[in-house]
């Protein structure tokens, strides 16, 4: 059983979806038992963004993972106010993961815009402009107390899913850290993953490509905030709405 208290809160600042990057941003990542947790849905560029202007109608599914239990009803706590975010408090210690997928958003992209978007796939395809429907698949990992659990190491219902092989809160400085990328439950190979690291106001990034097992490895230091992002775009055939379906995934965690 998950012991928690949840409240949806409105935020005044907001920008329209879709955007090039989207991620879940808690007010911090490490908590004590019963301490309030506030999670915003951010959109922007280069790990710098603003709170969204959406509400429950733009959410497809929001879930909370704790040990071997999944709460699939978090989105019911969102209201109809623009820019709603999530506030909760975990009564039990452990590693917690929150996931969110949005409903599809429609866009009519120019060739230049579409090529820039596709550049994150790490492929040589030359594709034309077209209409696109896009979905955000975002997740964040929090640590409550001193009990480290494996909730964050499982695949989720997200269509494009970035999964840490180990618990990032147990990782030692300088050791290789492994992420595994899945698309609709299958390992996604030869796709670009961007690793973002924010220390204070400084943001660095490194571009990696998944191997045959859908994995990327990098050195992780337990400081600041981290985000991994990946994009998958699929050509639609005989679809009356759009030419392309894109999925934009992110995973965030941090050490404060």
User: Is residue 254 in a domain?
Assistant: no
Q: Are 22 and 250 spatial neighbours (Cβ–Cβ below 8 Å)?
A: yes
Domain total for the chain?
Answer: 1
Give the pLDDT confidence of 243-254 residue by residue, as tens digits. Answer: 889 999 999 999
| E-state strands within the chain | 4-9, 21-26, 30-31, 36-45, 48-51, 59-66, 69-71, 85-90, 94-102, 105-109, 130-144, 160-164, 176-183, 186-187, 192-199, 202-209, 215-219, 225-235, 244-254
Residue 52 half-sphere exposure toward CB, CA atoms < 13 A: 27
Give the residues across from 49 on adjacent strands: 44
Q: 127 to each of 32, 78, 191, how far by Cα in Å?
A: 49, 38, 17
**The domain containing residue 9 runs over which residues?**
4-249
Residue 112's pLDDT band, with cuts at 50, 70 and 90, is: low
Give the pLDDT confidence of 31-69 residue by residue, as tens digits. Answer: 999 999 999 999 999 999 998 776 667 888 999 999 888
Over range 138-144, report the average pLDDT.
Answer: 98
Q: Are 64 and 154 spatial neighbours (Cβ–Cβ below 8 Å)?
A: no
User: Is residue 256 in a domain?
Assistant: no
User: Is residue 50 in a domain?
Assistant: yes
């Amino acid at each position: 059983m998950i012991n928690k208290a949840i409240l949806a809160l409105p935020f005044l600042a907001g920008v329209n979806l879709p955007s090039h990057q989207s991620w879940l941003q808690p007010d911090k990542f490490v908590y004590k038992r019963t301490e309030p947790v506030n999670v915003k849905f951010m959109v922007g560029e280069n790990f710098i963004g603003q709170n969204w202007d959406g509400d429950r109608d733009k959410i497809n599914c929001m879930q909370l993972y704790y040990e071997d239990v999944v709460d699939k009803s978090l989105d019911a706590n969102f209201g109809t106010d623009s820019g709603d975010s999530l506030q909760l408090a975990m009564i039990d210690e452990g590693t917690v993961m929150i996931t969110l997928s949005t409903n599809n958003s429609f866009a009519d992209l120019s060739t230049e815009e579409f090529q820039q978007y596709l550049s994150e796939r790490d492929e040589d395809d030359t594709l034309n402009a077209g209409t696109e429907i896009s979905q955000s698949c975002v997740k964040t990992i929090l640590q409550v107390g001193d009990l480290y659990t494996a909730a964050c190491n499982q695949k989720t219902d997200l269509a494009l899913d970035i999964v840490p092989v180990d618990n990032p809160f147990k990782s030692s400085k300088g050791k290789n850290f492994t992420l595994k990328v899945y698309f609709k439950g299958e390992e996604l190979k030869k796709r670009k993953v961007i690793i973002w690291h924010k220390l204070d106001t400084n943001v660095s990034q490194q571009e990696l490509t998944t191997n045959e097992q859908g994995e990327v490895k990098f050195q992780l230091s337990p400081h600041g905030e981290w985000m991994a992002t990946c994009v998958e775009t699929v050509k639609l055939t005989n679809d009356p709405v759009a030419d392309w379906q894109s999925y934009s995934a992110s995973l965030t965690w941090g050490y404060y």
